[in-house]
Structure 1
Amino acid sequence: MSRKAWNCWPSWPTRCRPPQRAAWLAYAILDGTLIPIDRLADERPYYSGKHKQHGVNVQLLADPVGRLVWASPALPGAVHDVSAARTVGLIDALTSAGVKTFADKGYQGAGGTIRTPFKRHRHRPGLSRSQRDVSRAHARICAIGERAVATLKSWKVLTKLRCCPHRATALVQAILVLQLIEEGRYSG
């Protein structure tokens, strides 16, 4: 899978691009989720070692209240969160738009305007008190973003996809539009 194969932004309408959808926010919350799928003949790229199951990885942007703002195309489950965000060009787009984004430790080293909590290293002493306080405050912000993941996964069709994984992107985008309509935030 090349970067160009998954970078669909040039063909997207302007209103669907993450920087335009998130630029008006004070900050955005970035999180990834694995949507379970049935096993495939070519199962290796879809197996997530972290979750110990087959699935597709979807990156989500949430607003400060925890509502869905944007969802990425579905990538194979073996792709890590930071790699998935880079593959779809999300990190570069958010950085160029100047959107301050909070993410969990899965995005460590993403750079740009992506803010992650402090991480304790294996052979070093624990975090200082101020680092722990900052990480705790960061976790409070990211916990709000988990609400967006819960909103997406509350749709029964995503409990386990029994269709081709390539259809997952269309399903997630349709659910995003339906959710925006339900909340009265859909702009056409």
Structure 2
Amino acid sequence: MNVQVIARQDGTPLWFSRAAPGRTHDLTTARAHGIIEACLTRQILILADRAYRGAGATVRTPYYHHREQPTHYQQFNRDHARLRAPGERAIAQLNTWRLPQRARHSTRRTNRTIQAIHTLLTCSYSR
């Protein structure tokens, strides 16, 4: 299952996409939901993993395929990982429920589960 997540800088999940089959590439899913285009038109910086390489001008991915990376590449990758950590935390909050991980049914049923989890997470943040 492939679910896109948009999170605040503090790791609070703002939005979970509809579930796509797991075989769907991350960048394809992000484009299908309009995330890349919306952020590009609004000039919002996206910090993403290597799967989003080539997505556009506002998407930043870490450097790779360098056996001995220059020091500035290594520093960029460390900073990138540190800034991406809250977004990864938002994904981890979804995964702690285990229901989406073990889903072996249609994406429509999974979407309802994800919506319910997002509602519960939102309620817990509003306290």
1:181 aligned to 99, 108, 123, which one?
A: 123
What TM-score does the superposition give when structure 2 sets the normalisation length?
Answer: 0.88
Provide the residue aligned with 1:28 in structure 2: none
Structure number with the higher strand fraction is: 1
Percent of aligned pairs with the same residue? 37
Provide the residue aligned with 2:56 in structure 1: 111
SS in 2 for 1:75: coil
Structure 2 unaligned spans of 5+:
none
Provide the residue aligned with 2:111 in structure 1: 169
- In 2 relative to 1, CA 129–169 (structure 1 residues): closer, same or farther, beyond 3 Å? same
SS in 2 for 1:157: coil
Q: Which has the larger radius of gyration?
A: 1
1:149 aligned to 91, 94, 97, which one?
A: 91
Letter of the 1:110 counterpart: A
SS in 2 for 1:158: coil
Q: How far does residue 163 in structure 1 lie from its aligned partner after superposition? A: 3.5
What TM-score does the superposition give when structure 1 sets the normalisation length?
Answer: 0.62
Q: Which runs of 4+ in 1 moved over 6 A?
A: none
Structure 1 unaligned spans of 5+:
1-55
Aligned partners of 1:129, 1:104: CA distance in 2, in Å? 20
| Number of residue pairs matched by the alignment | 127
Cα offsets for 1:54-77 (capped at 9, x unmatched): xx1001111111111111111111
